[in-house]
C-alpha cells in the first residue's frame, strides 16, 4: 500500500511539473502590430493565415499573421510553426481553371504572388510548377500568357508580384514565392521550371543557377548564365527577330550544356513571345523531362504514355495545317520509347511529312539557321556591332530569305539581317 501511495505521489509531481512547463509555453506575452499597437495575450493556435490569441479576460482575438511586427512573426515561426496539410491548404489558395487573388507568402507576407491551377488539378496528386518573373512585376495578365501551356501540360503557374527590373530585392521576392508554394501545395519537386521576359528571364536564370533544382528554364527576350546551370537543366529560349538581346540569347544557347536546349526566333521586337510559342516551349520542356527520367513506376509510365499521346495528337492535327510544326514534333517524338504500333505511326508521319517539299526545305533551313547564328553571332560584341545590319549581312540574309521564302524561316532570315540597337 505504501509503495502504491509513493507511486501516486511521483506521478502527481510529474504531472504538476508538466503542467507548469505547458503553462510557461502558453504564458502571457506582449504582441505588437506593425503599426505599434500592443496586446497582452496567450498564443492559442493557427487558423488559416491568422493567429488565435487569448487575452487575460478570456476574450479570443483573431489576428492576421501579416499584421504582426517582424519580431513577433519570427517568434511565431520559431515557436509555433504551422502544421500544414497540403491538400487542405492547396484547396484554399486557388480554384482549378481560375486565377487566384493575390496571395501573401505565409511566413514572409511582404512578398506575394498569383497562382493558376489547371482544370485537372486535384490536391491528392503532385504537380509540376513553373515560376514566372515579369520585368514590370507580375499580375493576372502575366499568368494568362501561360494558361494555354498550363492546360495542355497540367502545370501550375505562379508569378511573383514584387520581382521586377531595378528592384534590388527581386531574388528575395522570388525565393519567398517558391518556398511558399512548395510548402503549401503538393509540388513535383523534379518538375519545377522557371520563366520570364527580359529582366525576368535573367532572374529566372539566376534562380536556376542558385537553386540548382530546376528541370528547365523558359527564357523570353534575354539570356543568362547557361554555362553555370546543372547539366540536366534544359533551356528553351524565345527571341524576337529584332530583339536587341538576340546576340546575347544566341551566346546563351551555345554556352549551354544540355543537348536538348533550344533557341527559336519569332517575328517581333523585344517583347513576350506569343501564347502558342510559350505553350510549345512548355510542351517541349515537359518532354525533355520524360526523355531523361528513369524508373518504371506506374505513375511515370502513365505520364509518359499520356505525353506521347498528347504530342502525337499535335502531329496529326498539324500535318496539313502546319506541316513544319508537325515535322519538328515528329522528330522529337521519335526519340521516345513507344509501343511498336505507336512507333510505326510516328515513323509513318515523319516519312509522309518529309515528302512535302516545304518541309524538306524547312529541315535544311534549320541547319542553315544554326550555321548562320554561330558564324555571325558568336563573336566579340565589338565585332557584332560592326557586322550587325551591314551590307554584307543584308546580302547574306537576303539570299537565305530568297531560298527559304516558302517556309516560315524565310521572313525570319530577312529580319535577322536588319540592325538592332545594342
Longest dimension (CA), the chain: 110
Determine the Cα–Cα distance for residues 13 and 52; give it in Å rounded to an integer.
31
Q: Report the relative pairing of strands 60-64 and 112-116 from DSSP bridges.
A: unpaired
Q: What is the pLDDT of residue 14?
A: 44
- Rounded to 10°, the helix 323-333/275-292 angle is 20
Q: Is the Cβ–Cβ distance between 52 and 62 less than 8 Å?
A: yes
Same structural domain, 154 and 252: yes
Is residue 327 a part of any domain in this protein? no
Question: What would the pLDDT profile of 346-393 be if each residue is shown by its tens digit?
Answer: 999 999 999 999 999 999 999 999 999 998 888 777 777 777 768 888
Angle subtended at Cα 328 by Cα 296 and Cα 267, rounded to the nearest 5 degrees: 130
Q: What is the pLDDT of residue 46?
A: 83
Question: What would the pLDDT profile of 209-246 be if each residue is shown by its tens digit?
Answer: 999 999 999 999 999 999 999 999 999 999 999 999 99
Same structural domain, 144 and 121: yes
Residue 37 sits in a domain whose CATH number is 2.30.30.700
Rg (CA), the chain: 28
Residue that terminates a domain, selected from 79, 114, 139: 79
- DSSP-assigned beta bridge partners for residue 112: 104
Is residue 263 a part of any domain in this protein? yes
Residue that terminates a domain, selected from 277, 293, 309: 293
Same structural domain, 94 and 226: yes
Q: Is the Cβ–Cβ distance between 125 and 109 less than 8 Å?
A: no
Is residue 304 a part of any domain in this protein? no
Q: What is the pLDDT of residue 6?
A: 52
Same structural domain, 229 and 140: yes
Same structural domain, 167 and 196: yes
DSSP string spanning 85-105?
Answer: -HHHHHHHH--TTSBPPPEE-
Same structural domain, 155 and 62: no
Q: Which domain holds residue 400?
A: 358-416
Is residue 311 a part of any domain in this protein? no
Is residue 384 a part of any domain in this protein? yes
Same structural domain, 53 and 166: no
Residue that terminates a domain, selected from 244, 275, 293: 293
Q: What is the pLDDT of residue 193?
A: 98
Number of domains the chain contains: 3
Same structural domain, 49 and 136: no
Determine the Cα–Cα distance for residues 79 and 152; give it in Å rounded to an integer.
42
Residues of the chain scoring pLDDT < 50? 8-25
Same structural domain, 281 and 387: no
Q: What is the pLDDT of residue 367?
A: 97
Q: How many CA atoms lie within 13 A of 56 on its CB side?
A: 5
Is residue 310 a part of any domain in this protein? no
Residue 242 sits in a domain whose CATH number is 3.40.50.1820
Distance of CA 60 to the CA centre of its chain: 41
Q: What is the pLDDT of residue 12?
A: 47
Determine the Cα–Cα distance for residues 219 and 272; give it in Å rounded to an integer.
10
Among the listed residues 192, 149, 154, 151, the one whose alpha carbon sits nearest the alpha carbon of residue 279: 149
Is residue 339 a part of any domain in this protein? no
Q: What is the pLDDT of residue 15?
A: 43
Is residue 343 a part of any domain in this protein? no
Same structural domain, 59 and 100: no
Same structural domain, 169 and 289: yes
Question: What would the pLDDT profile of 9-36 be if each residue is shown by its tens digit?
Answer: 444 444 444 444 443 445 789 999 988 8
Same structural domain, 246 and 269: yes
Amino acid at each position: 500500500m505504501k509503495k502504491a501511495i509513493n507511486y501516486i505521489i511521483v506521478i502527481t509531481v510529474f504531472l504538476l511539473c508538466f503542467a507548469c512547463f505547458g503553462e510557461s509555453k502558453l504564458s502571457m506575452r506582449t504582441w505588437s502590430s506593425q503599426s505599434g499597437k500592443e496586446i497582452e495575450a496567450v498564443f492559442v493556435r493557427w487558423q488559416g493565415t491568422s493567429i488565435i490569441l487569448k487575452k487575460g479576460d478570456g476574450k479570443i482575438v483573431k489576428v492576421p499573421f501579416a499584421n504582426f511586427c517582424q519580431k513577433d512573426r519570427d517568434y511565431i515561426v520559431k515557436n509555433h510553426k504551422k502544421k500544414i496539410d497540403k491538400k487542405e491548404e492547396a484547396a484554399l489558395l486557388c480554384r482549378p481553371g481560375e486565377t487566384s487573388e493575390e496571395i501573401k507568402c505565409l511566413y514572409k507576407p511582404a512578398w506575394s504572388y498569383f497562382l493558376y491551377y489547371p482544370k485537372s488539378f486535384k490536391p491528392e496528386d503532385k504537380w509540376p510548377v513553373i515560376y514566372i518573373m515579369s520585368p514590370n512585376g507580375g499580375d493576372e495578365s502575366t499568368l494568362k500568357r501561360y494558361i494555354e501551356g498550363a492546360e495542355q501540360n497540367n502545370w501550375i503557374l505562379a508569378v511573383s508580384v514584387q520581382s521586377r527590373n531595378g528592384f534590388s530585392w527581386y531574388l528575395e521576392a522570388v525565393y519567398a514565392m517558391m518556398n511558399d508554394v512548395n510548402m503549401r501545395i503538393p509540388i513535383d519537386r523534379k518538375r519545377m521550371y522557371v520563366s520570364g521576359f527580359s529582366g525576368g528571364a535573367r532572374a529566372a536564370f539566376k534562380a536556376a543557377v542558385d537553386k540548382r533544382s530546376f528541370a528547365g528554364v523558359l527564357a523570353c527576350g534575354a539570356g543568362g548564365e547557361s554555362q553555370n546551370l546543372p547539366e540536366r537543366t534544359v533551356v528553351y529560349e524565345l527571341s524576337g527577330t529584332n530583339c536587341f538581346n538576340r546576340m546575347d540569347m544566341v551566346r546563351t544557347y551555345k554556352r549551354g550544356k544540355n543537348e536538348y536546349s533550344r533557341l527559336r526566333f519569332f517575328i517581333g521586337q523585344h517583347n513576350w513571345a506569343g501564347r502558342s510559342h510559350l505553350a510549345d516551349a512548355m510542351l517541349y520542356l515537359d518532354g525533355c523531362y520524360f526523355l531523361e527520367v528513369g524508373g518504371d513506376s506506374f505513375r511515370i509510365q502513365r505520364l509518359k504514355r499520356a505525353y506521347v499521346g498528347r504530342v502525337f495528337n499535335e502531329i496529326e492535327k498539324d500535318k496539313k495545317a502546319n506541316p513544319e510544326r508537325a515535322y519538328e514534333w515528329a522528330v522529337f517524338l521519335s526519340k521516345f520509347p513507344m509501343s511498336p504500333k505507336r512507333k510505326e505511326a510516328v515513323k509513318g508521319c515523319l516519312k509522309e511529312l518529309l515528302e512535302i517539299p516545304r518541309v524538306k526545305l524547312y529541315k535544311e533551313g534549320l541547319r542553315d539557321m544554326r550555321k548562320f547564328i554561330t558564324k555571325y553571332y558568336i563573336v566579340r560584341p565589338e565585332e557584332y556591332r560592326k557586322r550587325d545590319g551591314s551590307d554584307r549581312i543584308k546580302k547574306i540574309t537576303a539570299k537565305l530569305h530568297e531560298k527559304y521564302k516558302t517556309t516560315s524561316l524565310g521572313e525570319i532570315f530577312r529580319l535577322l539581317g536588319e540592325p538592332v540597337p545594342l
